[in-house]
């Protein structure tokens, strides 16, 4: 369906919105449903950016809309004054999908707040100052989160001094390291060197890791590395924190990457897809960890707002009823097969990776050199042809392939066709 073009929303943005905010396109979204977005240029696009991996059920899923409408008419906000049913119900629902043992929740409004909460909980619980994060990781933009972040220097520039006692060790990305073994060895050696020369393990509160780096390039950590990290944490009484803000809620073909890898962290930070597009995040931990966070040591006015919780309940319920995760696994397998065919045909695709529908397509030139220029050309060509895709990676040379998890086969194939044709036309 096309509609009469109105003045571009993006052209009015600069007059009122802080220029610091970046936009992936100059399009203005007018209305959306599933993976179709009607824009102010009069065209309807296939949206495989999914609100940056947030719209697991697509735009405006009827169950989410209905739950929000019902909740908005009943109770909108309590701000810590009154207990409320949607928050308790959401905690109960999360207990059914979390990795074994993770059964207590602190709700926030965003991913970065979930990370801040996890950071504070880790220090509070252990009484230790230091936190270790991984190079290339993205954990958000508030001061604690941006200190953990190292996917790009621009996120940190001119904000120093950052939070003290945060150090980074190499993330074990297999494609860039050459092999999984060498990636694992490099990371574990760097941790050992850190412990030997700068920071004894008894000063470390936590390791923060994205089990699959998002912004950093859709790069999975090897399962064996996460198992070793778990052992290391257990040996030294260090908390293992998984940032599952992007990997969570079915994106990997399991509820969480923790289950995909079979490694259970002590604390998880979740957000993005949890509430179908409404702002919600959560710090998730075992009772024994959460119990030590004494009343008043942390808090929030809006976190766990009844409307956002009602939306999250609808998301979990729909994902279960419609077997969305199983469908995402099937769709992911199909997409990966087709993307591997493209890789076979085009030497510029160096790697296709990732479980479920969290697929990264890494573009290269001259062997393994990052090819960001081509990613930009292909993305633009895809947009001209009606498909919206995002990039990621420290060198901006990876396309994220992240349609909604309930994407229909016909839409998935249409998106893949557009990507293939746009790539061929860009070479």
Ligand X SMILES: Cc1ncc(COP(=O)(O)O)c(C=O)c1O
Residue 179 three-state SS? coil
Residue partners of 18: CB distance under 8 A and separation at least 6: none
Total of chain residues touching ligand X, rule CB under 6 A: 15
Judged by CB, which is closer to ligand X: 404, or 426? 404
Residues 159 and 146: beta-carbon distance below 8 Å: yes
Q: Which stretch binds ligand X (CB under 6 A): 116-124, 134-142, 308-316, 354-362?
A: 134-142
- E-strand stretches of 346-411: 349-353, 359-365, 369-370, 387-388, 390-392, 398-401
Residue 358 three-state SS? coil
Residue 394 interacts with ligand X (CB under 6 A)? no
Strands 369-370 and 359-365: antiparallel
Choice from 91, 173, 214, 222 touching ligand X (CB under 6 A): 214
Judged by CB, which is closer to ligand X: 112, or 426? 112
Residue 218 three-state SS? coil
φ, ψ of residue 249 to 5 degrees: the values are 60, 50
Q: Is the peptide bond before 228 cis (omega within 30 degrees of 0)?
A: no
Residue 112 interacts with ligand X (CB under 6 A)? yes
Judged by CB, which is closer to ligand X: 105, or 416? 105
Exposure of 254 in the CB half-sphere (CA atoms within 13 A): 14
Nearest approach, Cβ of residue 117 and ligand X (Å): 12
Nearest approach, Cβ of residue 247 and ligand X (Å): 7
Judged by CB, which is closer to ligand X: 210, or 411? 210
Residues 419 and 378: beta-carbon distance below 8 Å: yes
Chain centre to alpha carbon of residue 183: 22
Judged by CB, which is closer to ligand X: 232, or 358? 358
Choice from 45, 119, 138, 242 touching ligand X (CB under 6 A): 138
Q: Binding pattern to ligand X, positions 221-260, x when CB under 6 A? A: ----------------------x-xx--------------
Q: How many CB atoms lie within 10 A of CB 271?
A: 27
Strands 36-39 and 281-285: unpaired
Q: Binding pattern to ligand X, positions 257-276, x when CB under 6 A? A: --------------x-----
Residue 267 bridge partners (DSSP): 241, 285
Judged by CB, which is closer to ligand X: 268, or 349? 268
Nearest approach, Cβ of residue 205 and ligand X (Å): 18
Residue 115 interacts with ligand X (CB under 6 A)? yes
Residue partners of 369: CB distance under 8 A and separation at least 6: none
Eight-state DSSP code of residue 260: H
- E-strand stretches of 184-235: 204-209, 212-213, 219-220
Choice from 34, 91, 111, 173 touching ligand X (CB under 6 A): 111
Q: Which stretch binds ligand X (CB under 6 A): 2-10, 94-102, 105-113, 350-358?
A: 105-113
Nearest CA-CA partner of 328 in 341, 319, 338: 319
Nearest approach, Cβ of residue 425 and ligand X (Å): 30
Judged by CB, which is closer to ligand X: 21, or 410? 21
φ, ψ of residue 392 to 5 degrees: the values are -160, -170
Residues 393 and 362: beta-carbon distance below 8 Å: yes
Residue 397 interacts with ligand X (CB under 6 A)? no
Judged by CB, which is closer to ligand X: 275, or 319? 275
Residue 208 interacts with ligand X (CB under 6 A)? no
Nearest approach, Cβ of residue 10 and ligand X (Å): 20
Nearest approach, Cβ of residue 115 and ligand X (Å): 6
Residue 147 interacts with ligand X (CB under 6 A)? no
Judged by CB, which is closer to ligand X: 133, or 374? 133
Q: Where do contacts with ligand X occur on this chain (CB under 6 A)?
A: 52, 110-112, 115, 138-140, 210, 214-215, 243, 245-246, 271
């Amino acid at each position: 369906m096309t509609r009469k073009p109105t003045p571009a929303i993006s052209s009015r943005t600069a007059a009122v919105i802080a220029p610091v905010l970046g936009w992936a396109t100059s399009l203005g979204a007018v209305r959306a449903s599933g993976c179709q977005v009607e824009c102010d240029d009069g065209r309807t696009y296939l949206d495989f950016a999914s609100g940056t991996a947030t719209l697991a059920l697509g735009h405006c899923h009827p169950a989410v809309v209905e739950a929000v409408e019902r909740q908005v008419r009943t109770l909108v906000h309590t701000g810590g004054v009154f207990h409320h049913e949607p928050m308790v119900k959401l905690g109960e629902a999360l207990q059914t999908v979390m990795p074994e043992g993770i059964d207590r929740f602190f709700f926030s409004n965003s991913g970065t707040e979930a990370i801040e909460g996890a950071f504070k909980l880790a220090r509070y619980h252990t009484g230790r100052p230091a936190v270790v994060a991984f190079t290339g990781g993205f954990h958000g933009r508030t001061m604690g989160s941006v200190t953990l972040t190292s996917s790009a220097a621009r996120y940190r520039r001119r904000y120093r001094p950052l939070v003290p006692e945060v150090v980074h060790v190499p993330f074990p990305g297999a494609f860039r390291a050459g092999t999984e073994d060498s990636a694992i060895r490099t990371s574990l050696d760097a941790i050992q060197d850190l412990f030997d020369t700068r920071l004894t393990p008894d000063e470390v509160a936590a390791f923060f890791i994205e089990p699959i780096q998002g912004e950093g390039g859709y790069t999975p950590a090897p399962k064996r590395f996460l198992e070793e990290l778990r052992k290391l944490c257990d040996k030294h009484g260090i908390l293992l924190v998984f940032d599952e803000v992007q990997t969570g809620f079915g994106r990997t073909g399991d509820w969480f990457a923790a289950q995909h890898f079979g490694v259970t962290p002590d604390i998880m930070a979740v957000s993005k897809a949890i509430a179908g597009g409404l702002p919600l995040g959560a710090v998730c931990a075992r009772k024994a960890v959460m119990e030590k966070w004494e009343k008043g040591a942390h808090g929030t006015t809006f976190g766990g707002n009844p409307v956002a919780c009602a939306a999250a309940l609808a998301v979990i319920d729909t994902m279960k009823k419609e077997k969305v995760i199983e469908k995402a696994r099937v769709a992911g397998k199909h997409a990966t097969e087709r993307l591997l065919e493209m890789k076979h045909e085009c030497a510029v695709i160096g790697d296709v990776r990732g479980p479920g529908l969290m697929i990264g397509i890494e573009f290269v030139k001259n062997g393994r050199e990052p090819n960001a220029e081509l990613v930009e050309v292909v993305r633009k060509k895809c947009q001209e042809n009606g498909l919206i895709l995002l990039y990621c990676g420290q060198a901006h040379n990876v396309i994220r392939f992240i349609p909604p998890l309930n994407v229909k086969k016909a839409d998935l194939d249409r998106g893949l066709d557009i990507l293939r044709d746009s790539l061929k036309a860009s070479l």
